[in-house]
Amino acid sequence: MPILTVKKMQLFAPMKKKRAGRKQSNLFTYVLLLVGLIVSVYPFYWLFIAATLNDSQIFQLPPRFLPSINLFTNITNLQEKGPIWTTFANSLFIATTFTVLTVYISALTGYAFAKFNFRHKELLFFSILVTMMLPQQVVMIPLFKMMTAIGWQNELKAVIIPSLANSFGVFFMRQNMMNVPIELLEAARIDGCHELSIFHRIVLPTVYPAMAALAILSFIQQWGNFMWPLIILQDQSQMTLPLFLSMLVQPGQVIQYGEILAGAVIGVLPVFLIFLFFQKYFVSGVYGGAVKG
């Protein structure tokens, strides 16, 4: 889209700046943001409070807004329901390994699509895009058959490795790498640099923000991944935390909400921390994936 040139802007007649209006618009902005904050944060606030209550207090009306002292009890009781910390460690391992691997692999692949020309490039890229549109439920049964055939059932790697066929990651990194100046790469090649070095020393540093963004999104997605781990992981000791919690909330049994929500708090913390850690890179990274050139 054409950017307004300075010349064009000179055509506009000067208008009086509204200084008083600024204060008003600031107030409106604050209100909007405050409402946004309350609406966005309320469920989390509810969660943190509920995790500290005992069951009879959680659903009482009018709802409680202040925490109570049951957090420790809830966690203790939760520990009796199953290996909660093991599932937490599993989740952490799966999400972290997945994130590191998928960011690296997506970067490798996206780089090739962004900065190289090779035969069948368009076809291959198109095949990646199309798979993004297929609902994942449909491949679960064939994938399960495959996993049992190669003996990976109940293994954490059965959750990690198939997920690495991450089309979104490739698409995302490719978009971000379109901006890397080709001259840079050419110069390094002339100097005799090995391709992989160019990739590591020149390309990656340019797209750190995008990698951070993808890291956050990948971690969140894998942490909340639910259906496939349910199918492929058998023992409680292999399960992920969100999966383990959801098994406790099934209809037909007595549900101890306080414990489960305490578990949910434990589950929410890592994603929260990951976001806090990476957020300064996140903003510019996601944008880079949206616009080419």
Partner 1 sequence: MKQTVVKKITPYMFILPFFLIFCIFLVYPIFESFYLSFTAAEGSTSSWVGLDNFRQIFSDALFWKSMLNTVIILLVQVPVMLFLAFLLAVAVNNKNIKGRSIFRLAIFMPVLIDLVTYSIVFSIIFNDQYGVLNYILLMLHLPGIHWIQNPIWAKVTIIIAITWRWTGYNAIILLAGLQSIPDSIYEAADIDGVSGVKKFFLITMPMLKPIFLFCAIMSIIGTLQLFTEPFLLTNGGQPDNATETPVLFIYQYAFQSFHFGYASAAAYVLTAIVAILSYLQICVSKGGEI
Partner 2 sequence: MFNDRQYRKKELGAMVLSKKLAALLASIFFVAVLTAGCGGSSSTANKSDSAGPVTIKVAAWNDAADSLKAEIEGFQKKYPDIKVEMQYVDNNYTKIMPRLASGSEVPDVIQTQNRDFPAFMKKFPGEFVDISDKVAKLKDKFVDSSWDPVTVDGKVYAMPWDLGPSAIFYRTDMFKEAGINVDAIETWDDYIAAGQKIKEHFGGKVAMTGYAPDFDIFEIGFNELGGNYATKDGKISLKSDQAKQALTLYKKLVETGTAIDIKDWNGRITAIKNNKIASIPFGVWFAGTIANSAADQRGKWGVMQLPAFTKGGNHSANLGGSILTITKQSKNQDAAWKFIEYCLATDEGETVMLKYGLFPSYKPFYDNAAFKNKDEYFGEPLYQFFAKQTDAILPIHRGPIMLDADKPLKDMISGVIAGRNIDEAIDTAAQEIAKKTGLTVQ
From 46, 47, 48, 55, residue interacting with partner 2 (rule: CB under 8 A):
55
The DSSP secondary-structure symbol of 120 reads T
**Segment contacting partner 1 (CB under 8 A): 28-36, 72-80, 92-100, 232-240?**
28-36
- Told to check if 43 binds partner 2 by CB under 8 A, we report no
Burial 263-289 (b: 16+ CB within 10 A, else e): bbbbbbebbeebeeebeebbeebbebb
The dihedral sign for the CA sequence 237, 238, 244, 246: negative
Site for partner 2 in 109-148 (CB under 8 A): 140-141, 144-145, 148
Residue 217: Cβ within 10 Å count:
22
d(CA 259, CA 243): 15
Q: Does residue 56 bind partner 1 (CB under 8 A)?
A: no
What is the nearest approach in angstroms of partner 1 to the Cβ of residue 235? Answer: 21
Candidate residues 18, 22, 201, 292; the one interacting with partner 2 per rule CB under 8 A: 201
Asked if residue 144 lies in contact with residue 204, where contact means CB atoms within 8 angstroms, the answer is no
User: Which of 22, 121, 189, 200 is close enough to bind partner 2 by CB under 8 A?
Assistant: 200
Those residues with Cβ within 8 angstroms of residue 36's Cβ, 6 or more apart along the chain or in another chain: none
* Rounded-to-5 percentages of helix, strand, coil across the chain: 75, 0, 25
Q: Provide the mask over 151-170, with x wherever binding to partner 2 is found by CB under 8 A and - wherever it is not.
A: --xxxxx--xx---------
User: Binding to partner 1 by residue 284, rule CB under 8 A?
Assistant: yes
251 interacts with partner 2 by CB under 8 A: yes
- Write each residue from 129 to 148 as x if it is in contact with partner 1 (CB under 8 A), else as -, in one continuous string: -xxxxxx-xxx-xxx-xx--
Scan residues 153-212 and list those touching partner 1 (CB under 8 A): 161-162, 164-165, 170, 195, 199
Site for partner 1 in 110-129 (CB under 8 A): 111-113, 116-118, 121, 124, 127-128
Task: Check if the beta carbon of residue 199 is closer than 8 Å to that of residue 108.
Answer: yes
